[in-house]
Amino acid sequence: MVKQVNLIDCDQNTPMTRWHGVGLETGYWDNAVTVERHMEFEALAGAVDAHEASGQVDLILVDARGGRSGFLNGLAQLADAILVPSRPVKVDVDGAADTFSYLHALSEAGANVAPARLVFAALKPEKQQTVTMRAFVEAMRRFPCLGPALRERSAFTNMQAMGLLSEIACQKAADPGALERGQARIYAEALSEAGALLDATLGLAASAREAA
């Protein structure tokens, strides 16, 4: 069971840092989840080493910046696992293809690159998919995929403007108002889906560490 999570924001647009601020303002946050920002690889690697040495952090998640750079070269070798999220739209599929090509080239050059898996995000039920969307989904299957997909849900959209999904689900379930309690189910379902993805990610990371 993950108890302490550290989120590291390496994106120039600071989405994780801003999301953290939103969660603190709304009250939908848990102090067991900390956020810090590092834009230089040396600082990132030092922070990861310090957290691991402390024995107080169960999981470290890094939101990487886009584009090819020395920063990503180092991060790809520092990580236990790499997740490449993609929606079934052309710009995301092209981006995923570029990322996997880049990681493959690094590996071919002799770098010890962490295993990478594509994560299906914002996926509609098959019966709601357009012909074009189905074509993109099939194109995405040529990449190594991590089993659980994240479906298109209002809960995942709303959490960006609210905070941690687990806190939203718990607080709404305990709310005295019937309307708020009625909304708890949609967040609980999304949380269950996200939990399955987390379990698969932890399994991938554990396998990579055993093989190292």
147-171 residue pLDDT tens: 889 999 999 999 999 999 999 999 9
Q: Grade residue 2 by pLDDT with cuts at 50, 70 and 90.
A: low
Q: Grade residue 29 by pLDDT with cuts at 50, 70 and 90.
A: very high
Q: Could you tell me which residues are beta bridge partners of residue 120?
A: 86
**Using N-to-C axis directions, what is the helix angle for 90-108 and 70-78, rounded to 10°?**
80
pLDDT value, residue 67: 73
Give SS3 for 83. Answer: strand
Q: How far is CA 146 from CA 143, 188, 198, 204, in A?
A: 10, 21, 10, 9
Cα–Cα distance, 160 to 144 (Å, whole number): 27
pLDDT value, residue 155: 97
182-199: pLDDT as tens digits:
999 999 999 999 999 999
DSSP category for residue 119: E
Q: What is the mean pLDDT of residues 90-114?
A: 94
**Site of tokens 């554990």:** 206
Q: What is the mean pLDDT of residues 33-61?
A: 95
- The H-assigned helical ranges of the chain are 15-26, 41-54, 70-78, 90-108, 131-140, 154-159, 165-173, 178-211
Look at phi and psi of residue 32 and say left if phi exceeds 0, alpha if psi is from -120 to 50, else beta: alpha
DSSP for 58-71 reads: SEEEEEPPSS--HH
Question: Taking the C-alpha atoms of 65, 14, 147 and 34 in order, what is their torsion angle to the nearest 10 degrees?
Answer: 120
The first and second tokens of residue 181, run together, are 């309690």
The first and second tokens of residue 122, run together, are 């914002």
For residue 204, the number of C-alpha atoms closer than 13 Å in the C-beta half-sphere is: 22
Chain mean pLDDT for the chain: 93
pLDDT of 139 higher than 80: yes
Q: Grade residue 1 by pLDDT with cuts at 50, 70 and 90.
A: low
pLDDT value, residue 46: 97
pLDDT value, residue 119: 96
pLDDT of 211 higher than 90: no
pLDDT value, residue 3: 81
Q: Could you tell me which residues are beta bridge partners of residue 59?
A: 5
Indicate the pTM of the whole model: 0.92
Cα–Cα distance, 126 to 26 (Å, whole number): 35
